[in-house]
Amino acid sequence: MQGQNQQQAYDRGITIFSPDGRLYQVEYAREAVKRGTASIGVRTADGVVLAVDKRIRSPLMERDSVEKIHKADDHIGIASAGHVADARQLIDFSRRQAQVNRLRYDEAIGVETLTKQVTDHVQQYTQIGGARPFGVALMIAGVSDGEPSLYETDPSGTPYEWKALAIGADRGDIREYLEANYDEEMTLEAGVGLALKALESVAEGGLTPEGVGIATIPVEDAEFHELTDAETEAYLSDLDLLATDEDDA
Amino acid sequence: MQGQNQQQAYDRGITIFSPDGRLYQVEYAREAVKRGTASIGVRTADGVVLAVDKRIRSPLMERDSVEKIHKADDHIGIASAGHVADARQLIDFSRRQAQVNRLRYDEAIGVETLTKQVTDHVQQYTQIGGARPFGVALMIAGVSDGEPSLYETDPSGTPYEWKALAIGADRGDIREYLEANYDEEMTLEAGVGLALKALESVAEGGLTPEGVGIATIPVEDAEFHELTDAETEAYLSDLDLLATDEDDA
Amino acid sequence: MQGQNQQQAYDRGITIFSPDGRLYQVEYAREAVKRGTASIGVRTADGVVLAVDKRIRSPLMERDSVEKIHKADDHIGIASAGHVADARQLIDFSRRQAQVNRLRYDEAIGVETLTKQVTDHVQQYTQIGGARPFGVALMIAGVSDGEPSLYETDPSGTPYEWKALAIGADRGDIREYLEANYDEEMTLEAGVGLALKALESVAEGGLTPEGVGIATIPVEDAEFHELTDAETEAYLSDLDLLATDEDDA
Amino acid sequence: MQGQNQQQAYDRGITIFSPDGRLYQVEYAREAVKRGTASIGVRTADGVVLAVDKRIRSPLMERDSVEKIHKADDHIGIASAGHVADARQLIDFSRRQAQVNRLRYDEAIGVETLTKQVTDHVQQYTQIGGARPFGVALMIAGVSDGEPSLYETDPSGTPYEWKALAIGADRGDIREYLEANYDEEMTLEAGVGLALKALESVAEGGLTPEGVGIATIPVEDAEFHELTDAETEAYLSDLDLLATDEDDA
Amino acid sequence: MQGQNQQQAYDRGITIFSPDGRLYQVEYAREAVKRGTASIGVRTADGVVLAVDKRIRSPLMERDSVEKIHKADDHIGIASAGHVADARQLIDFSRRQAQVNRLRYDEAIGVETLTKQVTDHVQQYTQIGGARPFGVALMIAGVSDGEPSLYETDPSGTPYEWKALAIGADRGDIREYLEANYDEEMTLEAGVGLALKALESVAEGGLTPEGVGIATIPVEDAEFHELTDAETEAYLSDLDLLATDEDDA
Amino acid sequence: MQGQNQQQAYDRGITIFSPDGRLYQVEYAREAVKRGTASIGVRTADGVVLAVDKRIRSPLMERDSVEKIHKADDHIGIASAGHVADARQLIDFSRRQAQVNRLRYDEAIGVETLTKQVTDHVQQYTQIGGARPFGVALMIAGVSDGEPSLYETDPSGTPYEWKALAIGADRGDIREYLEANYDEEMTLEAGVGLALKALESVAEGGLTPEGVGIATIPVEDAEFHELTDAETEAYLSDLDLLATDEDDA
Amino acid sequence: MQGQNQQQAYDRGITIFSPDGRLYQVEYAREAVKRGTASIGVRTADGVVLAVDKRIRSPLMERDSVEKIHKADDHIGIASAGHVADARQLIDFSRRQAQVNRLRYDEAIGVETLTKQVTDHVQQYTQIGGARPFGVALMIAGVSDGEPSLYETDPSGTPYEWKALAIGADRGDIREYLEANYDEEMTLEAGVGLALKALESVAEGGLTPEGVGIATIPVEDAEFHELTDAETEAYLSDLDLLATDEDDA
């Protein structure tokens, strides 16, 4: 609706609305999210799954240093897409909030409560000048009071709750796959399978245990659990998703 | 009265008036409100009604995460249109003000008092540099001292009191419908019906219980009450507004 | 004396004088005042009158929410024209000053004293950067020590005292009417009549009781008094100013 | 020495010198002074005179609200030319300084001391960013230790002492008149006459008692004294300066 | 994907995203890193190696003043590439963090912990306005709890863990060499050899003991150890990497 | 070396160096100094002389209000050239420093010490943004420990010590005159004569006692002494420098 | 690698990197250093030498006021090149640091320690906005623990240690001379000779005792010592470097 020149006039800072009421810097921050590799979340009846593409640039890089799934508290995991250094700030913020909650109220922070504290923090960076928005989206997954839940925070500071969700690269294609195949009553194991199949649907040449990160928070124990390579390989093998050639790893 | 180039010279910040005395950034923030989905408020003799379009983008999104009606205090509800993350800030502000009032004066905050505290807060963001206006309008509905009332706050920080009102997308068409059909003496139930019919007047293919959010604050108990899907469906069915096809839900 | 391009170079902030010594942002704020509907003040021998055009945009809007006459203290009323949200800030400022005066000196604030406190506040916004001027003019009317008085504050922060005055839309035409018809010795009732006739002189199709707001502060009791619709209608009827058709109301 | 475009490059803020060492914003503030109506000061052997053009825009405006001569302390008067709201700030500043002096040292502030406190304050606004210069010049007249004196403060914050002086509109013509007719040994009465004749020299159609403001601070009692209309009229009549037609009043 | 003009519009400060979600100032800071001479890190089974090109501009410069390898704590060494003055700030920051850790917890800081404190500090300079990013990358090498590790911090504030790594000039070519020749099980001595051979692969005319800086942190004693010229020369001689002509030194 | 357009790019603030390493705003402030009238200082074996051109713009201006020679302390005088309001700030600063020195150390401040405190203060205004440099140069003359000395401070904040010096208009011509005629062993009286002859060398039509200000600080008593008109006239008469026509006074 | 227009886009402030990773404002500050006259430092086995070109602009200027060699502490001397007022700030900073060290640790500050405190201070001005870099380079020479050393600080805030060094005008030619003639084992006297010969190599017409400043810090007593004119003349005479004509002095 706006030509290129028009748009440029209103995208130089977060304190400026465009004539059609848009905040371009926030929209550009969303582009930074799309530049990140894909992350997927799936909520099932008995837990939540987070799955991420953690293929690395070089065989010399330590796989574990590609941090894309983070434990925020015993019962909450967070996956990110976008500007990695920004993600780390929000992860740290989340961990501090979780700790403060335990100290102050002597109980685990609710998944929704944490999400909203994060989005409040993020929104400030979209309204007050002198800084830029966070170029990152998070999926916050956890179990509170026996209920699994999965939230998204975006660069505008809006929280959304999802049954299943993809952020980062190929977000559109993966979401279509999830919409077509999601079943609210599936088991946690089936959820892991769905996430892997969705990830594979946009990967060329299949997946490798090393190129995928998976974490679950089962309702049963409400404990964040990151899968070992062996566990991941078992899933991939069972689902026939193993790459036949490791060139892409 | 001003050409395109002229306008551009004065719309880059909230601290600049245009030669004809306008604050363009505030007007652009009003455009952000129009980008939001529609919300409707109706004041009746025995209570106030808030109704919102809460259709969701994806079947995988949790309906409840599309927050458009909020309980600010036992006797006050707020519906918003526009930039969602901004709305959340003002809702939180409203809740804190309501709590402070209870703590300080040991009584429920007046609906008008709360409205003016919100608009004072919003006005600051239109006069002092270093930030942008709030890209959101609120409808604040409640019952104080046995009287129902319905207020609007806009991005300039001006409060208005209404008998019935629409904000967000299709605001003009819905307002025409309300002006033509509003009756100050109608019952709360009739108010719910009017709100739904007004919403339906701009919706293609009818309404679904899931795509609509309704809350009432009856004079009788002055308690914010959000309708269940079943209650909504009963209304829609009685009014013959049910979508025959759920494609739009 | 300056072309369009020249002017533009010096109107981007309040901290810049133009080569001919003007503050364009303050002048543009005066344009915001002209965009407001008309307000009229008339000082008579036995009191002061404020009259405002309070026609509303929609029949669904509550008339009382169009705040254009405000009680600042028992003995002082304020009418405004221009940016409504800005006006509210100055009204609140005025009320606080009046309260502080009562607390500190145990007496009612003088009308001139209050006016100068307002203009001092307004002037700051025209000299220090990081904000914009107030886009509003006020008429401050009251009775101090048995003397009625009527002041104007403009966006530059200059106080003026008037016998009779109009601010807002059609200010020029109304002032001409007032100059032609004002009589310093008239009664308060005659003052109300003059204000209404002046207002009618620029209104098409006559006035309605609902479309007009009137307040008086008589010397006798020095109490701010807002006229009821019935009282207003009686005046309009006596003066033959009643609209024959309520289309414009 | 500089073309129009050159000049524009260096006149956008007080923190920028032009290549030829000028501060354009201060020079533009001097233009604001010239836009004000004329004020005249005359020092005589037995006192100081201030005379101002106080013709008003409208017969409905209260003459006393056109404040151009101010009493700063018992023994000091100040006349201003330029931006009225700015003048009020400096007058208030002067009064506070005078009061502080009485409180702190238990004696009346010296005229020169006060002048320098004002110019120090004004200079700050020409060197530190984030504000604009004061668009006003003051004449500070008074009697200290039995000596009459007359000072000027300009927008750069420079103090000057004068025997006789004009600021505001027609400053150049009036100064020529004063230079041609001033006599250091004249009486205070003759000084009033000189000021009025100088004012009349640039007024078309003569002066009216209402259009002129006069104050004296005689050496004898060192008390600021403002002339009544009758006193002014007597002077004008004696000097044959009375307007024959009050059109210009 | 963006033309030259487009890019320029978004690269003037760290608080602006480009339309495709990039932070150009951070990318330009990475260019500053590439302008620095090469540094290499190699992690082996029994320790970590840092090797740097420390050839100097002039024979009159003291070799030791070309600080490119720094001891951050007994068990941690840091090598830098890029803007030297920026590097010194981060080295000082690292040393203070290490000291604080010893004081507060009475134990040596973990290599990963230190890395993340550095990257948190660096990230702040990429999001808050009023400063520029750090134009430097660090390699942080050390032994914690008997485990050798090697981290990189880049100007965006992202931490990476590597088995072997090159930063600065010729980074790409050296990395290719490392990828082709790295063996995770090699000894520390072999690691020194690999680093030197990699460095030589991009140096014309061989290496000199004076033009190379080498430090090791063996697992055995977890003590930062900088090689003497004699030790370096022994390695170079054994590996047949000694420059035949010292012109390049 | 730089064209006009080039220069303009780097002269808009004190925080920007030009490509050839110049600070244009400081250089422009030096132009402000040249716009001031001439001041001359001469150091002799038995004291220091300050002489200034104090011709006034109008016969109505009080000569003493053209402040160009100031007593900073009993033993120190200061002459200025340039922006008068800026000069007053530095004179006040100097007086405060002199007083502080007496209070703190119970002794008179050294001339060099005072000079360096002034230049430190001035330098800050050339490096930190948000203000402009001082558009003034000072000559600080005095006697400390029996030694006469004469210093200059310029807008960059650099102190220089001189035997004889001119600042302000015609600085170059006067300096040539001084270089040609200065004799380090001359008496204080001869120094006054040299200063007057140098001043006359650039004045058309000779000097008048009223148009010249002279002060001396003799080594003998180390007391600042300003010459009376009679004393000045005696000098001018003896030196045959008296203007034959007072047109230029 | 960048055209003129390109460069201009990135050289307006210290908080902006250019696309090729350069900080133009720091590079321009280096140009300010080159505009200064030459300073030379030579480290010998038994002490350090500083030599500066201190020819003056006018015979009326006091030679000692051209401060280019400064005593920072008993055992440390500093020579500067570039913006003189900036140099004074850093010299003062150095002296304060030296004093603080004596107070806090009761021992003389190390030469390297002092250098790094200076460069840390300088670096801050290259990364945080609101100021400009220091337009000066320093040579810090001294004797700590019996070891002579010579450091350079540049406008980026980088410290370098040198055996011999030139800063300021003709830096390149002098450095070539030093590289060709420096001998690490030379005596302090030979060092003085080398510095003078290097200085003469770029001076036209030879040197004068008055146009040269020399200081030494011998290892023997670690005391800063500035040569008298007689001492300098003896050196110049012995070395046959005396100017035959003093025109250039």
CB–CB contact A20 B31 (8 Å): yes
Q: What is the pLDDT of residue F168?
A: 96
Among all residues of chain D, which has the CA nearest to that of F134?
D127
From the list E18, E119, E165, which residue is nearest A28 (CB)? E18
From the list A34, A89, A132, which residue is nearest E15 (CB)? A132
* Min Cα–Cα distance to chain C from B97, Å: 18
Q: What is the pLDDT of residue G11?
A: 78
From the list C7, C64, C135, which residue is nearest B17 (CB)? C135
- The least confident of C49-58, E58-67, G210-219 is E58-67
CB–CB contact B19 C29 (8 Å): no
8 A C-beta contact, residue F182 and residue F47: no
pTM: 0.90
Q: What is the pLDDT of residue G12?
A: 72
- The least confident of B15-19, D244-248, F45-49 is D244-248
- The least confident of E203-207, F20-24, F232-236, G27-31 is E203-207
Best of G5, G6, G54, G60 to substitute, by most chain F Cβ atoms within 10 angstroms, is G60
* Position F11 pLDDT exceeds 80: no
Neighbours of G245 (CB within 10 A): 9
Q: What is the pLDDT of residue G56?
A: 86
CB–CB contact D84 C158 (8 Å): yes
Q: What is the pLDDT of residue A9?
A: 67
From the list D31, D66, D88, which residue is nearest C19 (CB)? D31
* Position F224 pLDDT exceeds 80: yes
Q: What ipTM is given for this predicted complex?
A: 0.89
The overall average pLDDT reported for chain F is 92
C-alpha span between B4 and B230 (Å, rounded): 51
Q: What's the rounded mean pLDDT across residues E37-50?
A: 97
From the list A66, A130, A135, which residue is nearest E130 (CB)? A130
pLDDT above 70 coverage of chain G, percent: 94
Task: Quick: pLDDT tens for A139-191.
Answer: 999 999 999 999 999 999 999 999 999 999 999 999 999 999 999 999 999 99
* Min Cα–Cα distance to chain E from A216, Å: 24
Among all residues of chain E, which has the CA nearest to that of A36?
E21
Q: What is the pLDDT of residue D202?
A: 92
Q: What is the pLDDT of residue A2?
A: 41
CB–CB contact C60 B162 (8 Å): yes
Q: What's the rounded mean pLDDT across residues B102-125?
A: 96
Instruction: pLDDT band for E249, please (50, 70, 90 cuts).
Output: very low
Task: Quick: pLDDT tens for D165-224.
Answer: 999 999 999 999 999 999 999 999 999 999 999 999 998 878 999 999 999 999 999 999
CB–CB contact G130 E130 (8 Å): yes
* Min Cα–Cα distance to chain A from E5, Å: 12
Q: What's the rounded mean pLDDT across residues E145-155?
A: 97
Q: What is the pLDDT of residue G66?
A: 79
* Min Cα–Cα distance to chain F from G46, Å: 34
Chains adjacent to B (≥3 CB pairs closer than 8 angstroms): A, C
Best of E14, E16, E127 to substitute, by most chain A Cβ atoms within 10 angstroms, is E127
CB–CB contact A21 B11 (8 Å): no
Instruction: pLDDT band for G95, please (50, 70, 90 cuts).
Output: very high
* Position B14 pLDDT exceeds 80: no
DSSP symbols for chain D: ---HHHHHHT-S-TT---TTS--HHHHHHHHHHHHSPPEEEEEETTEEEEEEE---S-TTB-GGGS--EEEEETTEEEEEEE-HHHHHHHHHHHHHHHHHHHHHHSSPPPHHHHHHHHHHHHHHHHHBSSB----EEEEEEEEETTEEEEEEE-TT--EEEBSEEEESTTHHHHHHHHHHH--TT--HHHHHHHHHHHHHHHSTT-B-GGGEEEEEEETTT---EEPPHHHHHHHHHHTT-B-SSGGG-
| Chain B neighbors of C83, CB-CB under 8 A | 23, 156
From the list E35, E64, E85, which residue is nearest G156 (CB)? E85
* Position E5 pLDDT exceeds 60: no
Among all residues of chain E, which has the CA nearest to that of G154?
E85
Any alpha helices (H) in E68-217, and if so which ranges? Answer: 84-105, 111-127, 171-181, 188-201
Q: What's the rounded mean pLDDT across residues C89-106?
A: 97
Among all residues of chain A, which has the CA nearest to that of B29?
A21
User: Across the C/D interface, how many CB contacts are shorter than 8 Å?
Assistant: 104
Instruction: pLDDT band for D5, please (50, 70, 90 cuts).
Output: low
| Chain E neighbors of A30, CB-CB under 8 A | 21
* Position E13 pLDDT exceeds 80: no
Task: Quick: pLDDT tens for A69-97.
Answer: 999 999 999 999 999 999 999 999 999 99
The overall average pLDDT reported for chain D is 92
Chains adjacent to D (≥3 CB pairs closer than 8 angstroms): C, F
Q: What is the pLDDT of residue E93?
A: 97
* Min Cα–Cα distance to chain F from D62, Å: 35
Instruction: pLDDT band for G175, please (50, 70, 90 cuts).
Output: very high
Of the candidates A83, A95, A162, the residue with the CA atom closest to the CA atom of residue A125: A83
* Position F6 pLDDT exceeds 80: no
Q: What is the pLDDT of residue D57?
A: 81
User: For E132-153, b where at least 16 C-beta lie within 10 A, e where not — what string?
Assistant: bbbbbbbbbbbbbeeebbbbbb
CB–CB contact B65 A162 (8 Å): yes
Of the candidates E45, D160, B133, the residue with the CA atom closest to the CA atom of residue A23: B133
* Min Cα–Cα distance to chain D from F10, Å: 12
Burial of B160 (0-12, 13-18, 19+ CB in 10 A): buried
CB–CB contact E127 A130 (8 Å): no
Task: Quick: pLDDT tens for B114-172.
Answer: 999 999 999 999 998 889 999 999 999 999 999 999 999 999 999 999 999 999 999 99
Instruction: pLDDT band for A5, please (50, 70, 90 cuts).
Output: low
* Min Cα–Cα distance to chain C from D146, Å: 34
Long-range contacts, stretch F197-200, CB < 8 angstroms, 24+ apart:
F197/F239, F197/F241, F198/F40, F198/F51, F198/F166, F198/F174, F199/F38, F199/F40, F199/F51, F199/F53, F199/F174, F200/F241
The overall average pLDDT reported for chain C is 92
* Position C248 pLDDT exceeds 50: no
* Position E8 pLDDT exceeds 80: no
Instruction: pLDDT band for B248, please (50, 70, 90 cuts).
Output: very low
* Position C245 pLDDT exceeds 60: no
| Chain F neighbors of G25, CB-CB under 8 A | 16-17
For the record, the structure tokens of D212 come out as 């002129």
* Position A245 pLDDT exceeds 70: no
Q: What's the rounded mean pLDDT across residues G211-229?
A: 97
From the list E11, E89, E133, which residue is nearest G123 (CB)? E89
Instruction: pLDDT band for C244, please (50, 70, 90 cuts).
Output: confident
Instruction: Identify residues of A whose CB sits under 8 angstroms from chain E CBs.
Output: 7-8, 11-14, 24-25, 28-35, 58-62, 64-66, 82-86, 88-89, 92, 125, 129-135
| Chain C neighbors of D59, CB-CB under 8 A | 179
CB–CB contact F128 G133 (8 Å): no
Q: What's the rounded mean pLDDT across residues E78-101?
A: 97
| Chain A neighbors of E20, CB-CB under 8 A | 28, 31, 35
CB–CB contact A131 E165 (8 Å): no
Q: What is the pLDDT of residue B4?
A: 54
Task: Quick: pLDDT tens for B36-73.
Answer: 999 999 999 999 999 999 988 889 999 887 779 999 99
Q: What is the pLDDT of residue E66?
A: 79
From the list C35, C62, C65, which residue is nearest B21 (CB)? C35
pLDDT above 90 coverage of chain A, percent: 82
* Position B249 pLDDT exceeds 50: no
Q: In this predicted model, which residue has the larger pLDDT, F203 or G125?
A: G125
Instruction: pLDDT band for F4, please (50, 70, 90 cuts).
Output: low
* Position E137 pLDDT exceeds 70: yes
CB–CB contact D135 C21 (8 Å): yes
Do chains A and B meet with 3 or more Cβ pairs nearer than 8 Å? yes
Q: What's the rounded mean pLDDT across residues D26-51?
A: 96
C-alpha span between E115 and D110 (Å, rounded): 66
From the list D58, D130, D135, which residue is nearest C128 (CB)? D130
Task: Quick: pLDDT tens for D128-173.
Answer: 888 999 999 999 999 999 999 999 999 999 999 999 999 999 999 9
* Position E71 pLDDT exceeds 80: yes
Best of E132, E171, E210 to substitute, by most chain G Cβ atoms within 10 angstroms, is E132
Q: What's the rounded mean pLDDT across residues A11-30?
A: 89
* Position F248 pLDDT exceeds 80: no
Do chains E and C meet with 3 or more Cβ pairs nearer than 8 Å? no
CB–CB contact E164 A60 (8 Å): yes
The DSSP bridge partners found for residue B137 are B81
* Min Cα–Cα distance to chain D from C118, Å: 11
* Position E203 pLDDT exceeds 60: yes
* Position E6 pLDDT exceeds 80: no
pLDDT above 90 coverage of chain F, percent: 82
* Min Cα–Cα distance to chain A from E234, Å: 28
Q: What is the pLDDT of residue A249?
A: 39
Secondary structure (3-state) at B226: strand
C-alpha span between G156 and E82 (Å, rounded): 12
* Position F8 pLDDT exceeds 90: no
Q: What's the rounded mean pLDDT across residues E153-161?
A: 96
Of the candidates A115, B72, B48, the residue with the CA atom closest to the CA atom of residue B80: B72
From the list C12, C35, C64, which residue is nearest B16 (CB)? C12
